[in-house]
Structure 1
Amino acid sequence: MKATDTTEFLNSLNAGVFAQQVGRALSDVAAGVIDHGKKGKVVLTFELSQIGESNQVKINHKLDFAQPTKRGTKREDTALDTPMYVGPNGIELFQNDPTAQLFNKQDTPVRAQEV
């Protein structure tokens, strides 16, 4: 399996909104650090769990940041889930094998009648 394309991965989470939130948090925290001379913090957390018995995973992605202010700290966190596929190219939003069968012949819900 190839390594996951990190840029594509982050841009796929929550339809690209998560990457925008991370960018905004990094900018705001950096500005607070410069303006107030205090440390700031940005934390990304990813928890992965398998969806059923498929090759899909549910990715819980969390952004937590602390922005220094004049008299303290402004803190915010956000968390959502995004389902993704695990395949030969790593973790991706879409399954790339368009010829993959949804069901095997023995797993079909209705069996063909023999004549």
Structure 2
Amino acid sequence: MLADLHAGVFEQQVNAAISDVAANVCTHGKKGEVVLKFTMKQIGDSNQVAMTHSMKFLVPTARGRIVEETAADTPLHVSKGGKLTLYPEEQREMFNREGAVQSGSTASH
């Protein structure tokens, strides 16, 4: 699921931050930190959530530290058991047998 957040950018940012903090911890002998936060809000009355994913990291330097924060939102589908996916696991039928657009219910077979 992390690879889906912000089109994969969030995972890359987390990996880069962890590497940068670790390198500077070893270089300067000071403590560093990476904090991830996930906040979710239901989208309407659907089985979707808007996930706000944020990261704050502290990179130690020779004379202090650098603090950086980033945040973005990604809409996700919630499946059985709370599994989060970018796309729904079960797609509803868009058209009925006559070719008319379905109203929000699943098509009968």
- Report if aligned partners of 2:92, 2:105 keep a CA contact under 8 Å in 1: no
The TM-score, its normalising length taken from structure 1, stands at 0.79
Q: Which has the higher contact order (CA 8 A, sep 6+)?
A: 1
**Pairing 1:97–2:87 present:** no
Which ranges of structure 2 fall in alignment gaps of 5 or more residues?
Answer: 95-102
Cα distance in 2 for partners of 1:86, 1:50 equals 10
- Specify which of 1, 5, 12 is matched with residue 4 of structure 2: 12
The TM-score, its normalising length taken from structure 2, stands at 0.84
Identical columns (%): 47
Deviation at 1:88, TM superposition (A): 2.0
- Specify which of 48, 61, 64 is matched with residue 53 of structure 2: 61
Rate the CA distance shift 1:95–1:27 in 2: closer, same or farther, 3 A. Answer: same
Q: How many residues align?
A: 97
Deviation at 1:96, TM superposition (A): 1.1
SS at the partner of 1:22? helix
Which ranges of structure 1 fall in alignment gaps of 5 or more residues?
Answer: 1-8, 106-115
